[in-house]
Structure 1
Amino acid sequence: MPEHVDAGTPDPAAPKERRKLFAALRWTAAVLVFAAVGTGVAYGISRAERTHVPGLSTLGDGRWTYPTLSRPALPVGAPLAKGPDNRPGTHYVPLTGLLLPAPEGARPDDAVKPDKDGSVSVDAFLAEYAPDRRAKLKEYLEYEGLRQLTGRGWTTADGTRTHAYLLRFHAEGFVDAFAGCSTNMQLAGAPVLEMDLSWRDVVSKQEQGAKRPEGVSLFKEPGPANGDEQTKLGCIEAGDVLSVIIQTRKGEVATVPFHQTVILQSQLLS
C-alpha cells in the first residue's frame, strides 16, 4: 500500500524533520549498482526498507513508496551523465528510461498522454502553462534545440496529481535558457509562483558531507488558487536534460512527497 498524507492533515514536514529529509531519502533510492549486461552496461538504484532508513521512525511520514528504480543500459563505451569524462553531462540512454515511475498504488492521470514510444507533444506539455505564455515557449522549444519530450502523470490516494516531464535538448546551454522554470512564469491555474523556501532550508540543514542535488529549483503558489487547489513546480537541470515536475492538490501540496519526487528524479538523471 502506498504511504500518503490524508487530505486535510497538516503538512508532515515539520522544520525539525526537514533536517533529516535528505539523509532519509538518500537511502530511499539507495546505492548505485553496476553490472555488465550484453553489449552495454546496466545500472540500477535499489531501495532500502523503511526500518533501515536512518533518522526516521517506521511510522508514516508522508513519503510515497516507489518501485525499485533502475536506469537503462548504457551503449558500449558511453560515459555516465555525470562521469568525469562527460563534462557536458550528455545522457546516452533512452529518455523514457530516465523518467521517474509512478509510486505504488497510484493511478494513471490521463491528462498526460504519451504516444506508444513514450513521446509527449510540445502542445500537450505547454498546456501546463498559462495560455498567454505558450506561444513564446513553443517558439523556443521548436527552434532552440529540443530533441525529445516524454512525460508521465499519476494521482495518489491523497488526491495529489503529479505530472512529470523530461525534455532533452541538443546541449546543456539550451536547458539553462528555457524560460518555463521561474517565478516570472505562470502555470495554468497557478498565476503566481514564488520560491519554495522549505527546499532551501532542507538543503542548508542536511547532514555534513551529504551530496546535494544539483541544478534543482522549486517553486510554489503562495496559497491555493481561488481557495481550492495549490500547485508546486520542480525543475531539475541535468546536462542536456531538463526535468519539469508539477504537483497539484486540493488544499495544499504536501512538502515531503513533493521533495521526495524531485530527489528521486534527480538521482535517476545523475
Structure 2
Amino acid sequence: MTEQTVTPAEPERTAVLPEPTEAPASPGAAAPVLPPAAPPMPQQPAGAGPGSPGGTEPVRPPRRVLRAVARWTAAVLVLGSLGTGTAFGIASMERTDVPGLATEYDGRWEYPALTLPALPSGSPRPFSPGNTAQIHHADLRELLIPAPAGATVDSRIEGGWTTPEQFASEYRKDGRERIGGLLADSALRHIAARGWSMPDGTTSRVYLLRFNSTAYAEGFRDDMYIGGGPGQALDWKEDLVFDEGWEGSDKDPDTATFVFTDAQPDGKERIRAAYVQAGDTVALIVHKQKGSKPVPEVPFHQTLILQNQLLG
C-alpha cells in the first residue's frame, strides 16, 4: 500500500468589494474608482504546519532548551572528571593518609620483609604432597624470624646454632637436667636461636629445635607436657596459663600452636610464651618485660604468627 500525502485543498477565493461610500453628488462629477480589495488569507487546515506531514519546515526546539542541555552536559563532564581524579588520588594514597580510614597504631613491631629460604635442589617444602615425613630441608637458621626494627640483638643468641644447655636455661633450675636428658634421647639434630630486646623493655627469645623425624618432635613435645597445659615450667616463679586472647590457632592448619601467659603478676615482671610444632621442628617463643605493665599482646602474637608462617 502506497503512503499517501494529503495536500490541503486550495480554498476558494472570493473577492469581496467594499460598498462604495456615498458622497454628496455634485453636478458633473465622476464616480470615484476604488482599488480591488486584497483576497483573504487562506485558512490552514488542522494538523498542517511546521513538522507536520503537510508542513514544509522541521520543528526547532527553543533556544532556551538547547542552552539548558548544554549547561547540564558540561556540568556532568566536570563532575565526572573530578570524581575520577578523586578516586585515583585516594587509590594512590596510603590507608593512613586517607581521612576516616586511618588505622590506629596497635603497637605491632616493624619486621623486615620475610622470605622463605632456598631449598636444596629437588627438596620439597615440609608440607607439600611430596614430603609425607614433613621434613624441613632448608637451613634451620634461615627459618628463624629476624629481629624487628629498633631491636638490640643478644650477642649470645644472634641467629646461629646454640647448645642444649642454652635452651635448657630458659627453664627452672630443678628441671634443666631432665630437659638435657630428653634432648639427648630424642634424636635432636640442631638448635638455632635468636634473642633481642626492645626500647620498651621487652626481651624476646626464639628457639628452633629440629629432630630426625616428625615422630621424634612429637615425642619431645609430649615429654615436655606441652598441649594439656603449659608444659615443663619455664624460668618463672609461677606456672603459666593458656592465653585466652590468642585466636590464631587456625592460621596454619599444618602446625600446632600452644600459647600461654602469666596467671598472677607480682608487679615486677611479666611473661608470655608459646610453642609451635611443625613437622620435625619445635619452636619456643618467650617474651618478658620488667614492671607491672603486661607484655604487649599484639607484638607477641605478631611474632608467633610470623614464625609459624616461616615454619609452615
With the length of structure 2 as denominator, give the TM-score of the two structures. Answer: 0.62
Aligned residues of 1:163 and 1:247 also touching (Cα < 8 A): yes
2:106 is aligned to 61
- 1:220 counterpart letter in structure 2: T
State the Cα distance separating 1:211 from its structure 2 match.
5.4
Distance in 1 (CA, whole Å) between partners of 2:188 and 2:151 is: 30
Deviation for aligned residue 1:214? 2.9
How far 1:213 sits from its partner (Å)?
Answer: 7.0
Q: Distance in 2 between matches of 1:64 and 1:71?
A: 20
Match of 1:83 among 125, 128, 133: 128
Asked if the contact 1:162–1:245 (Cα under 8 Å) also holds between the matched residues in 2, the reply is: yes
Match of 1:36 in 2: none
> Is 1:105 matched with 2:145?
no
Q: Cα 1:237–1:57, aligned 2, differ >3 Å: closer, same or farther?
A: farther
Counterparts of residues 130-209 of structure 1 (less than 5 Å): 130-178=172-220, 179-180=223-224, 181=226, 182-199=229-246, 202-203=247-248
Counterpart code for 1:105: G
Contact 1:223-1:230 within 8 A present in 2 as well: no
Higher strand proportion, which one? 1
CA distance in 1: counterparts of 2:136 and 2:241, whole angstroms: 30
Number of residue pairs the alignment of both structures matches: 209
Give the one of 262, 266, 277 matched to 1:221.
262
Q: Find out whether 1:249 has 2:293 as its counterpart.
A: no
TM-aligned CA deviation for residue 184 of structure 1: 4.0
* SS of the residue 1:261 aligns to: helix
Over 3 Å counting, the alpha-carbon distance change for 1:75 and 1:266 in structure 2 is same
CA distance in 2, matches of 1:57, 1:223: 36
CA RMSD of aligned residues (A): 2.3
Task: Give the deviation of 1:109 after TM superposition.
Answer: 2.6
Instruction: Give the letter for the 2:286 counterpart.
Output: I
The offset of 1:65, in angstroms, is 0.6
Pick the structure with greater CA Rg: 2
Structure 2 runs not aligned, ≥5 long: 1-92
Cα deviations by residue, 1:47-92 (Å, 9 ceiling, x for unpaired): xx9849xxx9432111111001122211111111111111221000
Which amino acid counterpart does residue 221 of structure 1 have in structure 2?
A: D
Q: Which runs of 4+ in 1 moved over 6 A?
A: none
Letter in 1 for 2:177: A
Contact 1:79 1:85 (C-alpha < 8 Å) held by counterparts = yes
Q: Distance in 2 between matches of 1:136 and 1:126?
A: 9
Query: What 5-or-longer segments of structure 1 have no aligned partner?
Result: 1-48
Aligned partners of 1:190 and 1:221 also within 8 Å:
no
Task: Report SS of the residue matched to 2:150.
Answer: coil
| Aligned partner of residue 116 in structure 2, secondary structure | strand
Cα drift, residue 203 of structure 1? 4.0
Closer, same or farther in 2 for the Cα pair 1:90/1:60, shift >3 Å? Answer: same
The equivalent of 1:234 in structure 2 is 274
Map of 1:269 onto structure 2: 311
